[in-house]
Amino acid sequence: ATALRLVSVSKVYGTGQSAVTALDGVTLSLGAGTFTAVMGPSGSGKSTLLQCAAGLDRPDQGRVVVDGEEMTGGTEARLTKFRRQRVGFVFQQYNLLPTLTVAQNTALPLKLAGRRVDPERVREILTQVGLGDRLGHRPDQLSGGQCQRVAIARALVTEPGVIFADEPTGALDTRSARDVLRLLQRAVRVHGRTVVMVTHDPVAASYADTVLFLADGRLAGHLSAPTVDAVA
């Protein structure tokens, strides 16, 4: 099954002389249960691709389909609802709410989606990321690696069709980065989730099973990594 499909997605920032084409007709299809890294030079459109694919921004042209349902078009309210129900996010700076506990941060997407919060489920998912003993801590009581593991639990809790990660290891030391990448890999291999990760780090990209390269807003090539098991 296809988890994410982009058809001729274009995005232009600004108008007239100052217009910048950030994405120029990107078409791609990612299967469910795959781990894809997106690489490319600064300014090549990686963040814009992620934002458009995740429904955080709207493409000017083209279509985005998640789990067979079109995300593009429709009202802002529909897009917000769609995002809450269908996708998960992991950001470089964790984006945890500082006043909420680890358990509350993790449960937040369920609340926003209007779903029941099962404390046992929240505990279980935090245990899976190695934070079963930190449920009542607040983000400022955690290391960066631990914060990012909370963010991964938060992204997984709604069992979304696709998880988008924007430089998830960009602020982490080598060991914490490895832990985070292993968790993302495990989410794909064990739980069948689909992960799309923007990174400029080749080591991080080596955890993915496919690497897409962007240049000037276009797909410039891809690499499938048969040696990914050896690397991991």
Adjacent-strand bridge partners of 7: 63
* Residue 13 · residue 19 · CB < 8 Å: yes
45 or 59, CB closer to ligand ADP? 45
Residue 118 CB, nearest approach to ligand ADP (Å): 26
Distance, CA of 46 to CA of 38 (rounded, Å): 7
34 or 44, CB closer to ligand ADP? 44
Residue 57 CB, nearest approach to ligand ADP (Å): 9
The distance of Cα 226 from the centroid of its chain, to the nearest Å, equals 23
* Residue 32 · residue 160 · CB < 8 Å: no
Residue 219 CB, nearest approach to ligand ADP (Å): 13
Query: What are the tokens at 194?
Result: 């689909």
Query: What are the tokens at 167?
Result: 């430089």
Nearest to 153 by CA among 170, 131, 133, 168: 131
Nearest to 164 by CA among 74, 47, 12, 44: 47
116 or 175, CB closer to ligand ADP? 175
Residue 93 CB, nearest approach to ligand ADP (Å): 14
Question: Footprint of ligand ADP on this chain (CB under 6 A)?
Answer: 13-14, 20, 22, 40, 42-48, 141-143, 145-146, 175-176
Query: What are the tokens at 19?
Result: 């217009």
Which residue is it, tokens 């274009």?
10
43 or 170, CB closer to ligand ADP? 43
Residue 147 CB, nearest approach to ligand ADP (Å): 9
20 or 97, CB closer to ligand ADP? 20
Residue nearest to ligand ADP (CB): 145
Distance, CA of 123 to CA of 107 (rounded, Å): 10
Residue 174 CB, nearest approach to ligand ADP (Å): 10
* Residue 229 · residue 217 · CB < 8 Å: no
110 or 180, CB closer to ligand ADP? 180
